[in-house]
Structure 1
Amino acid sequence: MKILISGLLLVLTLSSMAQQKYWVYLKDKDTTGYNPYTFFDQKAIDRRIRNNIPVYHISDVPVNQHYVSVLDSKCDSVSYASRWFNAVCLYATNEQIADISQLEFVTKIEVSGAIPTLCSYEGGEVAPYTNSVLETQVTSMQGQMFHNAGYRGDGVRVAIFDGGFPKVDELDCFKHIRDNNRIIKTYDFAKKTENVYHGSSHGTTVLSCIAGMANDSTPIGLATNAEFLLARTEIGLEPFSEEENWLAALEWADQNGADIVNSSLGYTVHRYFPFDMDGQTAFVSRAANTAASKGILVVNAAGNEGTDKDWKIIGAPADADSILSIGGVQPFTLTHINFSSYGPTADGRLKPNVCAFGQVEAHGKKKMGTHYGTSFASPLVAGFAACALQTDPEMSTWDLFQEIQHSGSLYPYYDYAHGYGIPQASYFLGVDTDTLNPEIHFKINSDSIEIEVFPLSGDAPEVHYVFVHLTDPDGKILWYKVITSYENPVMRISRDEIAEAQYLRVHYAGLTKEFKLKN
């Protein structure tokens, strides 16, 4: 039998005794004895029913253990067996993998080898925290409206994938979670144990951005009453394992009833190229799309490649179509923070979807501090999503995904830095918070189009920025800008600049206005 060994040319220069990691795909499964009602947590069953997903599906059946045993006897070691992909991850030499490729139940072999990056920017606690940012990282999403209405993520189960959660079992920041037994399960996919309270403190900070409480009982994130599954997937100095761990954690989270997954990992230059960021090529992006097909909302950091001229765009799995990808904004302007990765995807789709603070006040292993990165914007939105789901527990995950986009502060305007803006609680609560009554005017000249807005920032209670983009007939953004609004016209666009454009769209202070440039 001739088996396709994808990517094998990457390792042919190695000696025949050198080990490489592979995914070996299998032809079928043994369904004997499989019962989804005993295999899955009840919340996983409920999620499938809520999303009109079959409770019994062949992709949920575990891998045939006979096949695993045969592979184990022919390789150095088996690392993981994925039920979703019906594939086994293993270590083997070139000679061993050539032998394995001849097995009649093997359909395809891929080389494994991506290394992730935690989407924190110059990670760590870089300054004492200030209440001004702590409060606004919540109020920027109108989180206080959720809390005042009694929505704090009750009954919603959130899985967090990260590099470790040291001191979560001790810190006062999480006492309310521990006292109510809301850490449902934990697992370290690197060490194969249930203890996750070690390793990188990044996960500790991320959890605080979802559900932590500051020393004065001020909420750091929104979902203070949610339930949690904590997975350690990132292992720092050990290469080529995290992509496998990420998939394993997704399947574990699915089995244990996660409604939402927050991930702060990005996979970029260590294996992939910018043109691979199409939502279909990267292994983790395919895994993320599978999770979405199971009714899980995956919330992932957009990445911190915004200043990297050699990459700059969204990384995997944030490029996946059904994943809520989160960009970062500055706390005091609510505009793009420089390191946050830009969209679109390699195939031209809108990313990021929405955004939140890329500079946050959150709890580390020892104390509160200032932290930077889209990996902290992501959990802010994950906490928001938990509260949004609580407002309508029967809402499908796809509807939740769409409604979070529609709640964005810029919607229906969008761009490749901010997506649809910062999610707003008032949208889910049916509350109208617009009080400014802004106006946008287009003035057509022979050689240009002028944009005017009213009231100008100098005449309004607060500063508002003007967001402008031009799109082609297919909706692809040709360019976009963010400008101040102190003097009219706020922008003059020449006829040459709009030659290829179909639409001019402007967003100002909650109002979006569109001008059709061509019939």
Structure 2
Amino acid sequence: MKYGILFIVFLFFAIIHSQAQNYYWIGFTDKNNSEYSLSAPEDYLSERAIERRTKQNIPIDSLDLPVNQSYIDSVLTLDVTFFHASKWLNGITVVTDSLRLDTLIGNWSFVNEIQLSKPSSFSTKSAKNKFADEIEVLYDEIDSAYYGGSVHQISMLDGQFLHQQNIKGQGIQIAVLDGGFYNADVNPAFDSLWINQQILGTKDVVDLNSDFFSTNYHGMSVLSCMGGNIPGELIGTAPKASYWLIRSEDTGSEYIVEEDHWVVAAEFADSVGADIINSSLGYSEFDDPTTDHTYADMDGKTTRVTRAANIAASRGMLVFTSAGNERDDPWKRIVAPSDGDLVIGVGAVDKDLNPAFFTSAGPASDGDIKPNVSAMGYRTTLQLSNGVVGLASGTSFSSPVMAGMAACLWQYFPEKTALEIKDALEQSGSMAFTPDSLVGYGIPNMRTASMLLNPFSVPVYEKQNNWQVYPNPVNNYVVLQNKGTFSGKEIAIGLYSITGQIIQQWTKPGAQKIVLSDLPDLSNGMFVLKVNDGEKSETFKLNKSY
């Protein structure tokens, strides 16, 4: 297929002869007279990428077309070297000795943006280590001996509900965008991934000549949160999913070019057919302060990396990104691209479900709920760079914990769209009715999410419920009776359709007995009632009859 040839051609031209050069982003106005056609997407997308769009009724559009080659060729007549191209944002990155590329290009009609994205002479004295503070030496029953230290990060999501049905991510492809995958080819945590051919490929967007598995450790640790498999020590949230390992981050400095690397990496993930992107990366401040973002930029649609992340999600992928570790820093807020309107930004909690002290605060600057959801990111069990299983902290790890669990959920409901899976994760959250700026919609529950996606997919075990709901079938009212010692907290109640749409919500004062006498006028059928007392969320099937 031509898409493979296209990547090879780009790789050939992307060989850089000098590291001490200026990187420029050049944006183009259009894709007129493209040699590619919307009617022949197999020329630039894999069969799996096309199937993902078809399955979710997503049309192939101009964003999918590669950058106009004639525009690229025109730029290459200058003293520049091609580095990579972004079809989604319609531009290229080049390297050159010139400090004023804009004067060379002048007023070319097809160029609408020129930005120095990384200078040849730079200092990292102001660079922030976005991986700082990260490394340190139950509704269904869960086998703690099997899960080892990872038992908390699985059980708080009720991930065992899916795992116990052997739903562990089979058939789902996850692209991991990160800063490096040190020793991921030899570490025992990933033996089963290699033996079962679950590592689908690698790509280095930053340095085409790198020794891929000798780069930074961070992506390796992230991968272990999803794909790690050492029974008794570490079990990832999606140990049977398949993975693309993509290095998009230059950990030696922090310039706006990192966002352009990310965009190209996400486009590659889309083109090969990945279902999910996990990106434990985020951007706010840079070594060149003139390119720093502001909180106003965190509006879900402004930065280049956020725009691309939204496009990735619009192609039918689930996009998970770390919300950031900034709350105890002057920045404090979420970082791009977790602000994206279609992106799932993930915050961090500890094993007691409390927000981690470092997890970045939302909301997005346009008021949208951010982070979207949260998972265990404080003292998460994972593979360390020294070859042992240990603990680490950061939203870098809560994001893959959540992404892997979502892979299992999507495997369980393969007919659902990415947007439907995203909605189920949020609506199953522990704070779904009272989202806040630290944990968003809270900690998703896989049993509840499954019931929201299909109420008939989940058996209800009455012995595990604190609440009894009657009469059922229901007509004009519902009674909720607490069967234990009631804490007296405020109760959030929601009524859903079988497709997961919210029909009505109530907030009731805490009481041993609650009567819902104001049920909406519903037709006969099956509905879902969710009860959240602030400590536990329970879900019930209701049969409505006259």
> What TM-score do the two structures reach when normalised by structure 2?
0.74
Give the Cα separation in 2 of the matches to 1:403 and 1:511: 14
Structure 2 residue aligned with 1:23: 26
The equivalent residue for 1:488 is none
Q: 1:221: how far off? A: 1.7
Residue type matched to 2:226 in 1? I
Residues 75/238 of structure 1: CA separation in 2 closer, same or farther (3 Å cut): farther
Q: 2:41 matched to 1:36?
A: yes
Q: Is 2:219 the counterpart of 1:214?
A: no
Q: Does 1:244 align with 2:260?
A: yes
- Alignment-derived partner of residue 361 in structure 1: 381
Q: What amino acid maps onto 2:444 in structure 1?
A: P
Q: Kindly indicate whether the alpha-carbon contact (under 8 Å) linking 1:413 and 1:507 is maintained by their aligned counterparts in 2.
A: no
Quote the Cα distance in structure 2 between the aligned partners of 1:117 and 1:50.
Answer: 41
Structure 2 CA distance, aligned partners of 1:193 and 1:29?
A: 34
CA RMSD of aligned residues (A): 3.1
Greater relative contact order structure (CA < 8 Å, 6+ sep): 1
**Following the alignment from structure 1 to structure 2, what is the Cα–Cα distance between the partners of residues 283 and 506?**
40
The separation in 1 between residues aligned to 2:488 and 2:359, in whole angstroms, is 21
* CA displacement, residues 310-353 of structure 1 (integer Å, 9 cap, x when unaligned): 2111110000110001000011x211111001110111110011
Query: What CA deviation, in whole Å up to 9, does each residue of 1:287-328 have, x standing for no partner?
Result: 1011111111110011001112x2111110000110001000
* 1:395 to 1:151, Cα distance in 2 relative to 1, 3 A: same
Task: Note if contact 2:278-2:319 (Cα within 8 Å) is conserved in structure 1.
Answer: yes
Alpha-carbon offset, residue 197 of structure 1: 1.2
Q: Paired residue for 2:62?
A: 58
Aligned to 2:495: none
| Aligned counterparts of 2:235 and 2:108: Cα–Cα separation in 1 | 53
Verify: 1:285 aligned to 2:323, yes or no. Answer: no
Change (3 A) 1:81 1:20: closer
Question: Is contact 1:75-1:96 (8 Å) kept?
Answer: no
Instruction: Say if 2:36 and 2:65, in contact at 8 Å, map to a contact too.
Output: no
SS in 1 for 2:296: helix
| Aligned residue number for residue 436 of structure 1 | 466
Name the counterpart of 2:170.
154
1:386 is aligned to 2:402: no
Equivalent-residue separation in structure 1 for 2:156 and 2:254 (angstroms): 38
Counterpart CA distance in 2 for 1:37 and 1:221 is 34
How much has 1:95 moved relative to structure 2? 4.0
1:346 to 365, 373, 383: 365
* In structure 2, distance between residues paired with 1:508 and 1:305: 27
CA contact (8 A) 1:187 1:194 kept: no
Amino acid paired to 2:135: G
Cα separation, 2, equivalents of 1:306 and 1:29: 45
* Unaligned runs of at least 5 residues, structure 1: 1-17, 440-452, 469-484, 486-504, 513-519
Counterpart of 1:509? 536
**Is residue 264 of structure 2 the alignment partner of residue 234 of structure 1?**
no
Amino acid at match of 2:466: L
> Can you list the C-alpha shifts for 1:183-229, whole angstroms capped at 9, x where unaligned?
1111011112585312111111111101111253x553221111111
SS state at 2:84 partner:
strand
Q: Deviation per CA, 1:117-147: give whole Å up to 9, x if none.
A: 6754413242xxx977421111111111111
Alignment of 1:158-237 (within 5 A): 158-193=174-209, 196-214=212-230, 216=232, 219-237=234-252
1:45–1:118 distance in 2 versus 1, CA, 3 Å: farther
Distance 1:79 1:198, change over 3 A: same
Indicate conservation of the 8 Å contact 1:407/1:424, yes or no. Answer: yes
Q: Which amino acid in structure 1 is aligned with residue 348 of structure 2? A: G
Q: What is the number of residues matched between the two proteins?
A: 437
Superimposed CA distance per residue, residues 92-132 of structure 1 (whole angstroms, 9 cap, x where no aligned partner) = 53543123142232233345369996754413242xxx977
Task: Check whether the contact 2:147–2:234 (CA below 8 A) recurs between aligned residues.
Answer: no
| Cα 1:121–1:424 shift into 2, 3 Å | farther
* 2:345 pairs with one of 318, 321, 325: 325
Identity %: 32
Q: Which amino acid aligns with 2:298?
A: M
Q: Which amino acid counterpart does residue 143 of structure 1 have in structure 2?
A: G
The DSSP-based 3-state class of the residue aligned with 1:177 is helix
CA distance in 2, matches of 1:372, 1:38: 43
Q: CA deviation at 1:166?
A: 1.6
Structure 2 equivalent of residue 447 of structure 1: none
Name which of 81, 87, 95 aligns with 1:83: 87
Q: In the alignment, is the contact (CA less than 8 A) between 2:349 and 2:377 conserved in 1?
A: yes
CA distance in 1, matches of 2:433, 2:136: 36
Q: Do the aligned partners of residues 132 and 215 (structure 1) sit closer, same or farther apart at CA in structure 2, a change above 3 Å counting?
A: closer
- Rounded Cα–Cα distance in structure 2 between residues aligned with 1:455 and 1:211: 40
Amino acid at match of 1:379: P
- Among 102, 124, 127, the alignment partner of 2:135 is 124
Structure 1 length as normaliser, TM-score? Answer: 0.77
- Structure 2, unaligned stretches of length 5 or more? 1-20, 138-145, 287-291, 451-456, 470-480, 493-509, 511-531, 540-546
Aligned to 1:73: 77
Q: 1:296 aligns with which of 303, 317, 331?
A: 317
In structure 2, the CA distance between the partners of 1:508 and 1:212, relative to structure 1 (3 Å rule), is: closer
1:196–1:231 contact (8 Å) kept in structure 2: no
Q: Secondary structure at the match of 2:396?
A: helix
- Structure 1 segments, 4+ long, off by >6 Å, are 114-118, 453-456, 463-468
219 and 370 in structure 1: CA distance in 2 versus 1, 3 angstrom threshold: closer
In 2, Cα distance between the equivalents of 1:261 and 1:193? Answer: 24
By how many angstroms is 1:73 displaced?
Answer: 2.0
CA separation of 1:321/1:117 partners in 2, compared to 1, >3 Å: closer, same or farther? farther
Cα distance 1:19–1:181, how it changes in 2: closer, same or farther (>3 A)? closer
> Partners in 1 of 2:201 and 2:488 — Cα distance?
44
One-letter code of the match for 1:25?
Answer: F
Q: d(CA) in 1 for partners of 2:65 and 2:409?
A: 31
Other-structure match for 2:428: 407
2:466–2:482 Cα contact (<8 Å) kept: no
Give the 3-state SS of the residue equivalent to 1:314 in structure 2: coil
Supply the distance in 2 between the matched residues of 1:465 and 1:338 (Cα, whole angstroms): 25
* Secondary structure of residue in 2 paired with 1:74: coil
Say whether the 8 Å CA contact 1:166–1:198 is kept in structure 2: yes
